[in-house]
Amino acid sequence: MLVACGLSSIDELFSHIPPKLRLKGELSVPEGISEMELVSEMRRLAGRNRHADDLVCFAGGGAYDHYVPAVVWALAGRSELYTSYTPYQPELSQGILQSLFEYQSMICALTGLEVSNASLYDGPTALVEAVHMSTGATARTRVLLSEAVDRRYLETLRTYGAGEHFTVETIPAPGGVTAIPRVGDDVAAVVVQHPNFFGNLEPASAVFEAAQTAGARAIHVFDPLSLGILAPPGQLGADVAVGEGQGLGNHLSYGGPYLGVIAARSADLRRMPGRIVGETVDVDGRRGFVLTLQAREQHIRRERATSNICTNQTLMAVAATVYLAWLGPDGLAELGRQCVAKARYTAERISDLTAAELMWPGAEFFKEFVVRADVPARQVQRKLLEAGFLVGPAVGEEGLLVSVTERRTREEIDRLVKAFGEALS
Amino acid sequence: MTGAPVRRDGPAIALRTLKERSRSGRRAWSLPELDVPGADVSDAHRRRQTADLPEVSETDIVRHFTRLSQINYGVDTGFYPLGSCSMKYNPKVAETVAALAGFQRLHPHQPEETLQGALELLWRLERALCEITGMARATFQPPAGASGELTGLMIMRAFHTKNGNPRTKIIIPDSAHGTNPASVTLSGYRAVQVPSDRRGLVDLAALQGLVDGDVAGLMLTNPNTLGLFEEEIEGVAAAMHRVGALLYYDGANLNAIMGRARPGDMGFDIVHMNTHKTFATPHGGGGPGAGPVAVSARLEPFLPTPVVGFDEESGRYFWDHDRPDSIGRVHGFNGNFGVLVRAFAYVFGHGRDGLREVGERAVLNANYLARRVNDVYPLAFPGQPMHEFVATARSFRKYGVRAMDIAKRLIDLGFHPSTVYFPLIVEEAMMVEPTETESKETLDAFAEAMLQAAKEAEEHPDLLHDAPLTTPVRRLDEARAARQPKLRW
């Protein structure tokens, strides 16, 4: 091949790199190893971690141990799908394109909103995009965000706002629930998480109404797994809904890859960032799917683009599509009821303990709640870990978030409660 | 005719949507009987109507998505020379190890003492990526290349702000990826374009004319998007450094120079990598990616928080949150860990010798293929290409044939086509990146297909205009899709 290129050595392929810039010697990276050795090394590293199969997972705060049905990765893991690129040649990419069209359809069905894109990176970065949509729509730059929103969302938003695009202020949440804010006419968006970071249900529609009365966009940070039983963002009056889609068939995977879900009303369609798939026909009149409305995107608009997103989380969206098809409307509702029932049972049993109580005993919650103990939360967390349980994250010094999905059994819950009792004594 | 290697024929029923397959009362799900007292949410919060999701059996689901996979083309299906995307083979072992419970079942809120293996993996991967790029420290938070770009630019802004003036402009070449100017705008800067010269490289004289104290930095891909090494990079760096501006390295084309040259040695201070390009993590039909950002020592304080720490005395790894100058958090947790596990397997499986060979073979394959088709698809610029080449299909215009027609004909001849119409500065661009994982036989077969398409362009242009004929759907009406958006069932 070198000869065919009219060259005599590999080095000639790199001859236009100035000599001074050529790497002298070798990279300081270990020598390559065989596949067998690699697998051993990876097993060694994996073996140094504890995980949600050898510990019982009651941890939450944005990532949840929901059951992943066998069918999800048997299908999303088909290599024709996972080894493909962004579907730039639609005739060769109908599998991915139709899957994303079905994903968008299901997200609309779930949220009660009119349009969805083909996915974003994760929940917090989806909120950043929703805020960009809102500042664009309102030509305002102040953002109000409830204190009961997961802190990671606030931190992410502050980072992306630092280019002087918007400023973020918090709304107090006394009693673990957001106070209805006074919204000025310079506010672009009001953000509430429902169920909120503490697990509590929010007066979301009242907050949204306050936002819209002042001409601001109402943004709902939601949990897709709650929408089998909780009123969806559309019904509550949200303009934009964003959520963490990890629970929809995606693995815990130490925080990523996850799935950023976003849905909005039709009026905001052209402000929606990222890939969007649309239905059309081919030259023979057959139905087919394409990436559409690309005039919004970075590769067309370049410096005038309102989002730089290119790669998204397509495969996670495909997994979510298989997952939602597996659950269907009744499965999703049953799953929601099981989460509520198991979380409530756990909370009641824990609050029976003398040394523990619920942080907000009167609040209604979905699948997680905050326990307050007489002992520092991190100490309780450590003792529970020794007993074989993952809980948390900690909420301040004395609060501990406990999350209960449909996977937890009564036997596991009873053992957790017993371990709680011992940790507090 | 070979035909596109995706299934065209199949039961007619198979192409229905899940919604069209839905039958009331059908289901796939199963959950255990509730073993605690039943409970429900209060009336005020309850969903009034069930979500309008499809009701299908598990068999329906399996047939549906199996069929969808059969009408989709991946690297496992065949050659995928999509320029700028480095669609190399994705080693199966990476999938196997990423599925280990000790990686896949880690909760992001687990305490550090239960994560020593994961943190060791990240620490070692960071050291390796810094060595490959010639940088000091790295962050794994950015979940994709574009996110890495924005992160890098926010770091640049934080650096200049700390020095008293954030400045206002970022210079980018006219051949840059669209994400570059979009990221510039989102980071609060103004993009200023520098033209390419007749060689397809940054026009150094023009650049010198643009540089002043308001310029915060320059974003550059090297080799650039034309597949050419920026030979005057030292002069470019000097021009920027003279005014205290920083150089940002878009790592989209890092594959070409691994083990041969390092951005850090060229004067760059910030590098993002696309793991799905350089380190063969599967692209998943459009994601997930991972966009680690590595920086020089002077920018280290501004990296997103936290970064991985290692205490040599105790041998413990930890998350270092004590970073007062950090730009903050750019991802909900710590990036696309599952993707990084695969990148680790690739980097340490290949090792220093293997990584160097990756670049060598990628460049050799591109040069060989370019040479094979050069007579009919001349290079847009005369220089010797590196890991990809940009040819022009301009000469077929006289037959009414466009680059897109050739691309569609290549589908019928059994291949995924190259990238077309990018970079924007090349007329009828065809950007071909064969990657290192393809054999000479594959390259020859693709070259023959390109040459056949060229011959047909002259003799039977309608074969190209009508292509593809062998795919499940033929050319789709994109204008209609945008004019009358139908974005859901």
pLDDT at residue B11 in the model: 66
* Whole-number average pLDDT of chain B: 96
Select the CATH number that applies to the domain covering B93-349 from these four: 3.40.640.10, 3.40.630.30, 3.40.50.1100, 3.40.50.2300.
3.40.640.10
pLDDT at residue B13 in the model: 61
Q: Which of A255, A290, A322 is the last residue of a domain?
A: A322
Is position A47 within any domain?
A: no
A328 interface with B at CB cutoff 8 Å = yes
pLDDT grade for B4, boundaries at 50, 70 and 90? confident
pLDDT at residue B3 in the model: 78
Which sequence spans correspond to the domains of chain B?
Answer: 93-349
The mean pLDDT value for B454-469 works out to 97
Q: Which of A307, A322, A337 is the last residue of a domain?
A: A322
Q: CA B145, CA B250: separation in Å to the nearest integer?
A: 8
Pairwise CB contact (< 8 Å): A50 & B186? no
Is position A40 within any domain?
A: no
Q: Where are the alpha helices (DSSP H) in A51-203?
A: 70-76, 79-82, 94-111, 123-138, 151-161
pLDDT tens profile B238-287:
999 999 999 999 999 999 999 999 999 999 999 999 999 999 999 999 99
pLDDT tens profile A113-126:
999 999 999 999 99
A109 interface with B at CB cutoff 8 Å = yes
Q: To the nearest whole angstrom, how far is the Cα of B290 from the nearest Cα of chain A? A: 9
pLDDT grade for B2, boundaries at 50, 70 and 90? low
- Asked if pLDDT for residue A288 goes beyond 60, the answer is yes
pLDDT grade for B206, boundaries at 50, 70 and 90? very high
| Beta bridge pairs of residue B476 | A282
pLDDT tens profile A144-193:
999 999 999 999 999 998 767 899 999 999 999 999 999 999 999 999 99
Q: What is the CATH number of the domain that holds A147?
A: 3.40.640.10
DSSP E strand boundaries for B258-388 = 270-272, 293-295, 307-311, 316-320
pLDDT tens profile B286-345:
999 999 999 999 999 999 999 999 999 999 999 999 999 999 999 999 999 999 999 999
Is position A43 within any domain?
A: no
Examine the domain organization and report whether A388 and A278 are in the same domain: no
Other Cβ atoms less than 10 A from the Cβ of A290: the count is 25
pLDDT at residue A162 in the model: 77
pLDDT at residue B12 in the model: 64
Q: Which of A322, A351, A375 is the last residue of a domain?
A: A322
Residues of A in contact with B28 (CB under 8 A): 69, 71, 325-328, 331
Nearest neighbour of B53 by CB, restricted to A165, A257, A328 = A328
Examine the domain organization and report whether A192 and A247 are in the same domain: yes
pLDDT at residue B197 in the model: 96
Residues of B in contact with A199 (CB under 8 A): none
Phi/psi at A400 (nearest 5 deg)? -135, 125
Closest residue in chain A to residue B129, using alpha carbons only: A29
Pairwise CB contact (< 8 Å): A305 & B185? yes
pTM higher than the cut 0.95: yes
- Asked if pLDDT for residue B1 goes beyond 60, the answer is no
Q: CA A366, CA B465: separation in Å to the nearest integer?
A: 57
Nearest neighbour of B111 by CB, restricted to A229, A305, A381 = A381
- Cβ-Cβ contacts under 8 Å for A207 (sequence gap 6 or more): A146, A178, A180, A181, A190, A192, A218
Closest residue in chain B to residue A155, using alpha carbons only: B329
pLDDT grade for B15, boundaries at 50, 70 and 90? confident
Is position A48 within any domain?
A: no
Residue labelled with tokens 């006394």? A174
The mean pLDDT value for A372-381 works out to 92
Other Cβ atoms less than 10 A from the Cβ of A158: the count is 18
B187 interface with A at CB cutoff 8 Å = yes
- Asked if pLDDT for residue A323 goes beyond 60, the answer is yes
Q: How far is CA B56 from the centre of its chain?
A: 35
- Residue numbers of B between 418 and 457 with CB closer than 8 Å to A: 419, 422, 440
pLDDT tens profile B375-406:
999 999 989 999 999 999 999 999 999 999 99
pLDDT tens profile B419-446:
999 999 999 999 999 999 999 999 999 9
Is position A402 within any domain?
A: yes
Instruction: Note the maximum CA span of chain A.
Output: 84
Closest residue in chain B to residue A40, using alpha carbons only: B97
Q: To the nearest whole angstrom, how far is the Cα of B400 from the nearest Cα of chain A? A: 19
> Residue A149 carries which side chain, given as an amino acid letter?
V
- Asked if pLDDT for residue A80 goes beyond 80, the answer is yes
A136 interface with B at CB cutoff 8 Å = no
Examine the domain organization and report whether A177 and A309 are in the same domain: yes
Q: Where are the alpha helices (DSSP H) in B76-144?
A: 92-98, 101-104, 116-133
Examine the domain organization and report whether A83 and A63 are in the same domain: no
Nearest neighbour of B367 by CB, restricted to A5, A109, A118 = A5
Q: To the nearest whole angstrom, how far is the Cα of B13 from the nearest Cα of chain A? A: 13
Instruction: Report whether B176 contacts A303 (CB < 8 A).
Output: no
- Asked if pLDDT for residue A296 goes beyond 60, the answer is yes
Examine the domain organization and report whether A64 and A84 are in the same domain: no
- Total domain count for chain A? 2
Examine the domain organization and report whether A75 and A63 are in the same domain: no
| Beta bridge pairs of residue A281 | A287
Examine the domain organization and report whether A309 and A349 are in the same domain: no
pLDDT tens profile B37-95:
999 999 999 999 999 999 999 999 999 999 999 999 999 999 999 999 999 999 999 99
Q: What is the CATH number of the domain that holds A395?
A: 3.90.1150.10
pLDDT tens profile A220-240:
999 999 999 999 999 999 999
Nearest neighbour of A46 by CB, restricted to B117, B328, B367 = B117
Please give the C-alpha separations between residue B29 and each of A237, A244, A366, A410, in angstroms, as whole numbers: 30, 22, 21, 21
Instruction: Report whether A175 contacts A201 (CB < 8 A).
Output: no
Instruction: Report whether A244 contacts A259 (CB < 8 A).
Output: yes
Is position A188 within any domain?
A: yes
Is position A41 within any domain?
A: no
Closest residue in chain B to residue A286, using alpha carbons only: B473
Examine the domain organization and report whether A195 and A95 are in the same domain: yes
**Which residue did the predictor score with more confidence, A260 or B8?**
A260
pLDDT at residue B144 in the model: 96
Pairwise CB contact (< 8 Å): A27 & B131? yes
Residues of B in contact with A44 (CB under 8 A): 117
Residue labelled with tokens 């730059």? A141
| Beta-strand relationship, A356-358 and A368-373 | antiparallel
Q: What is the DSSP string of A92-120?
A: GBHHHHHHHHHHHHHHHHHHT-SEE-S-B
Is position A29 within any domain?
A: no
Domain that holds residue A413: 56-68+328-424
Examine the domain organization and report whether A260 and A310 are in the same domain: yes
Q: Which of A104, A108, A111 is nearest to A231 (CA)?
A: A111
Q: Percent of chain A, pLDDT > 90? A: 93
| Beta bridge pairs of residue B138 | B294
Nearest neighbour of A340 by CB, restricted to B39, B149, B286 = B39
